[in-house]
Chain A
């Protein structure tokens, strides 16, 4: 009985993880500007790959697999969050214009108000 639950849960996690990555890709296409895309990918990729790894762990849980899996999940979450931030910052510095409806663009206002220290971003 236990291994049927194990395979069902593991396979379900794999499908959900892949679906999350696919939804990130769909978001990549349909979202209006660069910043929403970076946000979508950072979130989707982090969770999607983490779910895939947990599904893999559920399917064959040996001890060293679990240790490697936990480290991989932590590394993956760190990767997608910090990477997303770094890329969004790089995009802003190289002039990726936010979509029109980004009303409160504090960074631009700061740059306009005190141009002296715009390098502080």
Chain B
């Protein structure tokens, strides 16, 4: 199964990715930057789910990731619509 060293490396990388995304959310000149950074946090979360699902032998990992992918689709579209406001 997953090698512990690999799990640690992957978790550290993904946590760093989330940290960088949070920096962009705070700094981001426009709200659209924060939206794309929030989207990246969702993808990093899906990566964390893969690693912890493998470590803890969770059988439902792929269901979670399937739902996260579909929710990611809905969330990024709603963020785009929210940003647009009334401009079509």
Nearest CB of A to B29, in Å:
8
A18 to B10, CA, bound (A): 6
> Do B88 and A119 touch (CB < 8 A)?
yes
Nearest CB of A to B34, in Å:
11
Kindly list chain A residues whose C-beta atoms are within 8 Å of the C-beta of B46.
Answer: 49, 52, 76
Q: Mark B13-41, 1 if CB is under 8 A from A, else 0.
A: 11011101101100001111101110110
Interface of B is mostly: helix
Number of A-B contacts (CB under 8 A): 173
A72 to B65, CA, bound (A): 7
Given A18-B14, A91-B30, decide whether A68 and B73 contact each other with a Cβ distance below 8 A.
no
Instruction: Give residues in B with beta carbon < 8 Å to A.
Output: 1-3, 6, 9-10, 13-14, 16-18, 20-21, 23-24, 29-33, 35-37, 39-40, 43-44, 46-47, 50-51, 53-54, 61-63, 65-66, 69-70, 72-73, 76-77, 79-81, 83-85, 87-88
> Can you list 5 contacts pairing A with B, beta carbon distance less than 8 Å?
A18-B17, A45-B43, A68-B65, A71-B66, A87-B39
